Amino acid sequence: MRAAIVRAGLLAALWWVLSGGAWSSWLFGIPAIAAALYLGFRLGSGGWRWTFAGAVRFLPFFLWRSLSGGIDVAWRSLSPSLPLDPDLIEYEFRLPETPARVFMSNAISLLPGTLSAEYADEKVRVHTLLRGPGAVRELERLEERVAGLFGLEMASRGDRA
Amino acid sequence: MTVILNALSAALILAGAFFFLAGTVGLLRFPDVYTRLHALTKADNLGLGLVVLGLLLQVESLSEGVKLLVIWGLVLAAGATAAHLVARTALEHDIRLWRRRE
Amino acid sequence: MSGLYLGVASFLLLTIVVGLIRIVRGPTPADRILAAQLFGTTGVAALLLLAQGVSSPPLRDVALVLALLAAFAAAAFVRRAWTGGEE
């Protein structure tokens, strides 16, 4: 029930932004919010539980890394020697839950030199612009922040078969 | 004050334009679809981010500013998802990735 | 400032046009799908600048709709235009 109220509040805020705050627009806004709420729960996207403290830590990290990602790829595309040495690697998740994993695979593509290319529940295949350990380190750092964002404990590498 | 704000806004927008240019150059110069996806997804999204930041300094109402941020977030999420879909489908169709020869 | 907005908006349109060379050349269908990405992101930025440059706020809503459509276009391309069938 609380989730529904929070979600309705967010949708109402979104409607207010989209409609520019005109009163008459709520005639359409309220049915639209109701429909969105119904569809949201019907499609079962209820697994996105994130923590506020995690978000405060995640957001600057993500903005900083995507800034670096843009600068990195811009430099590579403008540099005459085209400094690329691509590779395809597999990364096994330590995150325990599917929604967090899906979120992470999307974030991967905005980080420097990594692009998520195939997602299978336990692992993700990542295309990298540069061969070597840098990409894996980047992914591990992202995974820690995503775990924080969703308030999750990560499995340690040793637990895996 | 407006002078400084305008200058900052202009600088951000021009920086944004630079990244859009870099994205297009990457799209043309990079050797395969995977590397091109890197260029488009990252450079263009950063470009849009900088343009949005530059415009945010000029907004006249709160809802206008939030709308700009919503648009940015939407493009960010959609771009990342689309990049993943294209890369995955390319792999499924056995489009080989370009590798540097030693 | 409006000269700057319009100038940068035109410049962005130019980068789209130049980017179309890749779409024409391909060589794979995947390369052509990149058009959706290119139009989506760059087009949204150009529309936002235009909205500011000619003081026409409704253009921001056009940008919003374009952002939504570009996402659907890419997904639809991948599912239908390329694989040529249902899953």
Give per-residue pLDDT as tens, A82-102.
Answer: 898 999 999 999 988 888 898
* Helix H or strand E encompassing A87: strand A87-92
Residues A72 and A35 in one domain: no
Closest residue, chain A, to C60 (C-alpha): A18
- Per-residue pLDDT in tens (0 to 9) along chain B, 102 residues: 789 999 999 999 999 999 999 999 999 999 999 999 999 999 999 999 999 999 999 988 888 888 899 899 889 888 888 899 889 988 888 888 888 876
Task: Indicate if A112 and A141 belong to the same structural domain.
Answer: yes
Please confirm whether the linkage preceding A31 is cis (ω < 30° from 0). no
Nearest CA in chain A to B66: A17
Q: Which domain holds residue B49?
A: 2-92
A and C: number of Cβ contacts within 8 A: 3
Asked if residue A119 is part of any domain, the answer here is yes
One domain for residues A66 and A127: yes
Q: What ipTM was assigned to the predicted interfaces of this complex?
A: 0.90
Same domain as A123, residue A57: yes
pLDDT at A30 over 70: yes
CB contact under 8 A, A18 and C64: yes
8 Å CB contact of A20 and C64: no
HSE-CB at C65 with a 13 A cutoff on CA atoms is 5
- Asked, for residue A47, whether it belongs to a domain, the answer is no
- Percent of chain C whose predicted confidence (pLDDT) is above 90: 38
In a domain, B53, yes or no: yes
> What's the one-letter identity of residue B86?
V
Q: Residue B102: inside a domain, yes or no?
A: no
Domain count along chain A: 2
Question: Higher-confidence residue: A124 or A22?
Answer: A124
Chain B residues lying within 8 Å of C11, measured CB to CB? 17, 20-21
Q: Is residue A133 part of a domain?
A: yes
pLDDT of residue C81: 64
Residue B101 lies in a domain: no
pLDDT at C85 (0 to 100): 36
Does A98 lie in the same domain as A139? Answer: yes
Distance CA(C82)–CA(C85), nearest Å, equals 8
Cβ-Cβ contacts under 8 Å, B74 against chain A: none
C-alpha to C-alpha distance for C87 and C85, rounded to whole angstroms: 7
Residues A111 and A60 in one domain: yes
Same domain, A81 and A105: yes
Indicate whether B99 belongs to any domain: no
Tell me if chain A has a CB within 8 Å of the CB of C58: no
Which residue range forms the structural domain that includes residue A8?
Answer: 2-42
DSSP codes joined into one string, B21-83: HHHHHHHHHSSSHHHHHHIIIIIHHHHHHHHHHHHHTT-SSHHHHHHHHHHHHHHHHHHHHHH
Contact B40/C at CB under 8 A = yes
Listed residue (A84, A148, A88) closest to A123, CA to CA: A88
Considering only CB atoms, B74 lies closest to which of C29, C49, C67, namely C67
| Domain contains A30 | yes
Number of domains in chain B: 1
Q: Are residues A75 and A25 in the same domain?
A: no
- Whole-number pLDDT of residue A161: 41
* Domain-embedded: residue B97: no
